[in-house]
Amino acid sequence: MKGCIFNIDAGYLEGLCRGFKCGILKQSDYLNLVQCETLEDLKLHLQGTDYGTFLANEPSPLSVSTIDDKLREKLVIEFQHLRNHSVEPLSTFLDFITYSYMIDNIILLITGTLHQRPISELIPKCHPLGSFEQMEAIHVAATPAELYNAVLVDTPLAPFFVDCISEQDLDEMNIEIIRNTLYKAYWEAFYDFCKQIGGTTADVMCEILAFEADRRAIIITINSFGTELSKDDRAKLYPRCGKLNPDGLAALARADDYEQVKAVAEYYAEYSALFEGAGNNVGDKTLEDKFFEHEVSLNVHAFLQQFHFGVFYSYLKLKEQECRNIVWISECVAQKHRAKIDNYIPIF
């Protein structure tokens, strides 16, 4: 029944989004890109794709950062266009997507101020999708409580932040904890929101979000080895909306080294496969890349179904992956370091 009335509000945008998706670079494009000798070649080839003339007005010695900026700018324009034309509940859904960028921006700014960097230097590094009005005044705050009371209380992130207020002061460790607590609250809220929308959106998005939550739990665990984070504290940071919940998370909380984490993943078919091929040796793909690959395949699958919001999320994530790929290739080209140029993650 939902499918019938879906098109009234979101049909146009879904069509638009699917159209955008068709512009995502194919494997053949990547094969051409990796053959480029200079960034000028790269620009010339990208002109033949959906990116068109996005670099045409840049003066000639191209830098990777210009390419990165322009790629991001194009993506942001597309996303903002979708957001501006959307109505409830899609607009809330799209806002939810931007919250993760807000979290990243806040963390970036706090860390920056902690290291005594001027705010004007940090602002250009923030993701434009996650910018909000009070963002630039964030360095007023010296403690999490202040941060909450002065800055974040007016932003949509306020409900996620409530758990972090108890932290005493802002140091490296606490910032990391704040980030993960924020993300945990964010994933769980997003998960609940998608559940509440129901229908195909819930089917598709819960799958993707569950994976995101599990990935975070696993990465937190692996990164916590050798730090002073206690196991109890660690367990508090796990998002509880994934497939690992509750048994897997309990097992992860007890883990002491990488092998034990791997043993936990053994119980879950999709994750054990990811650990199988991962390694740190030359030529092996890292666990991180494996996760990215799995994310890409999940997001590609979102396009197999119609009449749901998952396509917007997936499109953004796929396009981001594409930007990462292009930037990776451009870096390799610019630094004449071709050995690892094939380490991009193809999408189609």
Partner 1 sequence: MGSLFRSEEMTLCQLFLQSEAAYACVSELGELGLVQFRDLNPDVNAFQRKFVNEVRRCDEMERKLRYLEKEIRRDGIPMLEIPGECPEAPQPREMIDLEATFEKLENELREVNQNAEALKRNYLELTELKHILRKTQVFFDEHEGGANTTESMTRALISDDPNRHMGHVQLGFVAGVILRERIPAFERMLWRACRGNVFLRQAEIDTPLEDPSSSDQVYKSVFIIFFQGDQLKTRVKKICEGFRATLYPCPESPADRREMAMGVMTRIEDLNTVLGQTQDHRHRVLVAAAKNIKNWFVKVRKIKAIYHTLNLFNLDVTQKCLIAECWVPALDMETIQLALRRGTERSGSSVPPILNRMETIEDPPTYNRTNKFTSAFQHLIYAYGVATYREVNPAPYTVITFPFLFAVMFGDLGHGAIMAAFGFWMCYKEKPLQAKKIDSEIWNIFFGGRYIILLMGLFSMYTGLIYNDIFSKSLNIFGSSWRNNYDGSTLQSNQLLQLNPDSKDYLQYPYPFGIDPVWQLAEANKIIFMNGYKMKISIIIGVFHMLFGVCLSLWNHLYFKRRISIYVEFIPQILFLSLLFFYMVLLMFIKWTTYGATPGHFGSQDPEIVKTSAFCAPSILITFINMMLFKHDKNTRPQCDDFMFSGQMFIQKLFVIVALLCVPIMLFGKPYFIMREQKQRARQGHQPVEGNAENGTAGGAPVPASGHHDEEITEVFIHQAIHTIEFVLGSVSHTASYLRLWALSLAHAQLAEVAWNMLLRKGLMSNDYQGGIFLYVVFAGWAAISVSILVLMEGLSAFLHTLRLHWVEFQSKFYGGEGYLFQPFSFEIILDSAGQAEE
Using rule CB under 8 A, residue 286 touches partner 1: no
We find the least distance from the C-beta atom of residue 132 to partner 1, in angstroms, to be: 10
> What would the two tokens of residue 189 be?
């809220």
Among 50, 68, 104, 136, binds partner 1 (CB under 8 A): 136
**Dist CA 52 CA 75 (whole Å):** 13
Closer by beta carbon to partner 1, 41 or else 289: 41
Angle of CA points 80, 212, 229, to nearest 5°: 120
Helix (H, G, I), strand (E, B) or coil at 243: coil
CB 61: neighbour CB atoms within 10 A? 8
- Within 53-72, the residues that bind partner 1 by CB under 8 A are 56-60
| 228 contributes a contact to partner 1 by CB under 8 A | no
- Least Å distance, CB 143 to partner 1, is 12
HSE-up (13 A, CA, CB side) for residue 186: 24
The site that binds partner 1 (CB under 8 A) totals a number of residues, namely: 31
Coil, helix or strand at residue 285: strand
- Any contact of residue 133 with partner 1 (CB under 8 A)? yes
Counts for the chain of helices (H) and strands (E), in that order: 16, 0
- In this chain, which of 78, 104, 146, 203 binds partner 1, going by CB under 8 A? 146
User: Judged by CB under 8 A, which of 27, 63, 65, 149 binds partner 1?
Assistant: 149
CB of 167 to partner 1, least distance (A): 19
Q: Which stretch binds partner 1 (CB under 8 A): 43-51, 84-92, 171-179, 232-240?
A: 43-51
**Binding of partner 1 by 41 (CB under 8 A):** yes
- 121 touching partner 1, by CB under 8 A: no
Least distance from partner 1 to the Cβ atom of residue 9, Å: 29
For residues 329 and 341, the answer to whether their CB atoms sit within 8 Å is yes
Torsion region of 226: left, alpha or beta (phi above 0 gives left; psi -120 to 50 gives alpha)? left
> What does the buried/exposed string (b/e) look like for 167-196 if buried means 16 or more CB atoms within 10 Å of the residue's CB?
beebeeebbbbbbbbbbbbbbbbbbebbee
Q: Determine contact, residues 275/221, Cβ cutoff 8 Å.
A: no
3-state secondary structure of 148: helix
Closer CB to partner 1, 141 or 217, in the complex: 141
119 part of the interface to partner 1, by CB under 8 A: yes
- The answer to whether residue 166 forms part of the interface with partner 1 (CB under 8 A) is no
Q: Report the DSSP beta bridge partners of residue 278.
A: 285
Residues making contact with partner 1 (CB under 8 A) = 32, 35-37, 40-41, 44-45, 47-48, 56-60, 119, 133-141, 146, 149-151, 153-154
